[in-house]
Amino acid sequence: MQKEIKHVEATESSTNSSVAASDKQRGVYVRTFGCQMNVHDSHKILQLLSREGYQPVQTPEEADVILVNTCSVREKPEHKVLSTVGSFRELKENNPELVIGVGGCFARQEGDVLLRKAPLADLIFGPDNIPELPGMLQRLYEKRKPVVEVAFDKADDVRFLDVEPQAGSSDLTAMVTIMKGCDKYCSFCIVPYVRGRERYRSAHEIVEEVERLCSNGVREVQLLGQSVTSYRWQDGEETWELARLLRAVDKVPGLERLRFTSPYPRDFKPELVACYDGSVPTLCEHVHLPFQSGSNEILYRMNRRHTREQYFEWVANLRKISPNITVTSDVIVGFPGETEEDFAQTLDLIEQVRFDQLYSYKYSPRPRTPARKKEQFTEEEKTDRLYRLQDLQNRISKEKNEALVGTIQEVLVEGPSRKGGGQLTGRSRGNKSVNFLGNPALIGSLVNVKITEGFHNSLMGDCLGAVEKDAQ
């Protein structure tokens, strides 16, 4: 039976943890490492603490509380986390009242050991402990002793924090968490150990959160979960899987675009593929489908539970139902035991699938994962394979973007382009970055852009004006 999963209003603990009694509002600064889940968690931390009377600030120098939200998926970000915390030494020496907290996956992985590794830290919290942060800070101020909370939610008390629309916010896009954790145990991945087993959020809460966001101007929503395609919610006799949830969210008034990440390819069932046939109009024509390796032997050792042949079939099914769908993916090079032949199979898969974009990583041994015990490649060997793979993908990405020259793309205009020169930037439904010259008044609207140039990671075009939608 599905255990009850608690929806937590961000104001829940306001009475005992407010900073209203302090002389001034305490400033809080959050530095984020890692994935979109962490970016979203940091957003929630700031919202939660703002409601408790803290004031988000832009620099560590302005802060009374510095929180570092960490990642442990690879080794490099861990080193960066420790050096980042160390970089606040002078601030702490000048202001002994300054609180330094470390949260997220690395905090969950290390627990109170982190107090030794990062001696400036006085607050350690895991990803499930964000709702407790106001109370933890209060305890710290009262008892003046480090506070550590890294336990997962109890099975009968799983908490999801809503992101509330901010008054006057101009956010066009929002992320909504629909599940936590992962049960897949890929042999290279630390996520099941630091984010816990899969726990799902009520479909009704998810739809309500999207409704609130859209009624405040959000136009694009991304549903988030570590293995989002495994979403499953039992409501009495009724079973909700991701396909049904997408169809329900699609009907929310004001929603223009719907995305989800990150999927587990095996869970891409026919009902989910069918959502791309145009019957879920807000669902964007983009799928992120991690393949990790093109070699069946390596896929087996990774415990991915699929073959390259199945992967080809899944991509073919998606392209059959949605011919213009963009396909992006994740790949790891230098997994223990990956021969030159295995690596050639990965390059071959990339050539055959022709991804629009690829996120490529060197294998990094992670604590508690089975693959860490195997013989490892040197950094030079992994780097060599990574560069060869990226050269191939850069060529393909550029060719695919050049092939879009002359097409008209619907773009949600997000703001001024970093390229300057009066250019605006936004994303196509296929999740490509599109730049064009345009009036800033267009920010927040959907426009049609005729593509004039394709680069390896963006498109350039001419704005044709606002998209006209049929009256509902």
Evaluate whether 284 touches 318 at the Cβ level (below 8 Å). Answer: no
Q: Which lies closer to ligand SF4 via its Cβ, residue 226 or residue 409?
A: 226
Cβ burial, residue 126 (10 Å; 0-12/13-18/19+) = buried
Is beta strand 408-416 parallel, antiparallel or unpaired with respect to 423-428?
antiparallel
Cα 68 to chain centroid, rounded: 17
Q: Is 427 helix (H, G, I), strand (E, B) or coil?
A: strand
Q: Which lies closer to ligand SF4 via its Cβ, residue 189 or residue 299?
A: 189
Q: Which lies closer to ligand SF4 via its Cβ, residue 32 or residue 292?
A: 292
**Contacting residue, 60, 101, 134, 192, with ligand SF4 by CB under 6 A:** 192
Asked if 366 is part of the footprint of ligand SF4 (rule: CB under 6 A), the reply reads no
For tokens 């092939």, the residue is 403
Pairwise CA distance, residues 246 & 228, whole Å:
12
Least distance between ligand SF4 and beta carbon 6 (Å): 23
Across 425-461, b (16+ Cβ under 10 Å) vs e yields bbbbbbbbbbbbebeeebbbbbbbbebeebeeebbbb
Q: Is 410 helix (H, G, I), strand (E, B) or coil?
A: strand
Upstream peptide bond of 230 is cis (omega within 30 degrees of 0): no
Pairwise CA distance, residues 342 & 336, whole Å:
11
Asked if 451 is part of the footprint of ligand SF4 (rule: CB under 6 A), the reply reads no
Q: Which lies closer to ligand SF4 via its Cβ, residue 312 or residue 361?
A: 361
Q: Binding segment for ligand SF4 among 86-94, 135-143, 184-192, 394-402 (CB under 6 A)?
A: 184-192
Q: Which residues from 295-354 bind ligand SF4, rule CB under 6 A?
A: none
Least distance between ligand SF4 and beta carbon 106 (Å): 16
Pairwise CA distance, residues 216 & 253, whole Å:
11
Pairwise CA distance, residues 195 & 153, whole Å:
10
Evaluate whether 247 touches 254 at the Cβ level (below 8 Å). Answer: no
Q: Which lies closer to ligand SF4 via its Cβ, residue 54 or residue 335?
A: 335
Least distance between ligand SF4 and beta carbon 75 (Å): 16
Least distance between ligand SF4 and beta carbon 187 (Å): 9
**Contacting residue, 30, 45, 147, 191, with ligand SF4 by CB under 6 A:** 191
Evaluate whether 100 touches 121 at the Cβ level (below 8 Å). Answer: yes
Cα 21 to chain centroid, rounded: 36
Q: Which lies closer to ligand SF4 via its Cβ, residue 112 or residue 183?
A: 183
Q: Which residues from 198-257 bind ligand SF4, rule CB under 6 A?
A: 226-227
**Contacting residue, 81, 85, 102, 189, with ligand SF4 by CB under 6 A:** 189
Site string for ligand SF4, 263-292 (x = CB under 6 A): -x----------------------------
Q: Which lies closer to ligand SF4 via its Cβ, residue 299 or residue 327?
A: 299
Binding residue count for ligand SF4, defined by CB under 6 A: 10
Pairwise CA distance, residues 94 & 152, whole Å:
35
For tokens 């599905």, the residue is 2
Least distance between ligand SF4 and beta carbon 198 (Å): 9
DSSP assignment letter at 12: T
Least distance between ligand SF4 and beta carbon 185 (Å): 6
Least distance between ligand SF4 and beta carbon 76 (Å): 17
Q: Report the side by side order of strands in the sheet with 123-125.
A: 55-56, 27-32, 65-70, 99-104, 123-125, 147-149
Least distance between ligand SF4 and beta carbon 346 (Å): 16
Helix orientation angle between 308-321 and 340-353, rounded to the nearest 10 degrees = 10
Q: Which lies closer to ligand SF4 via its Cβ, residue 131 or residue 192?
A: 192
DSSP assignment letter at 283: B
Q: Binding segment for ligand SF4 among 28-36, 129-137, 187-195, 377-385 (CB under 6 A)?
A: 187-195
Q: Which lies closer to ligand SF4 via its Cβ, residue 244 or residue 266?
A: 266
**Contacting residue, 49, 186, 298, 331, with ligand SF4 by CB under 6 A:** 186
Residue (of 41, 9, 30, 185) closest to 105 by Cα position: 41
Least distance between ligand SF4 and beta carbon 178 (Å): 15
Pairwise CA distance, residues 355 & 375, whole Å:
30
**Contacting residue, 118, 150, 178, 182, with ligand SF4 by CB under 6 A:** 182
Q: Which lies closer to ligand SF4 via its Cβ, residue 302 or residue 404?
A: 302
Residue ranges in contact with ligand SF4 by CB under 6 A: 182, 184-186, 189, 191-192, 226-227, 264
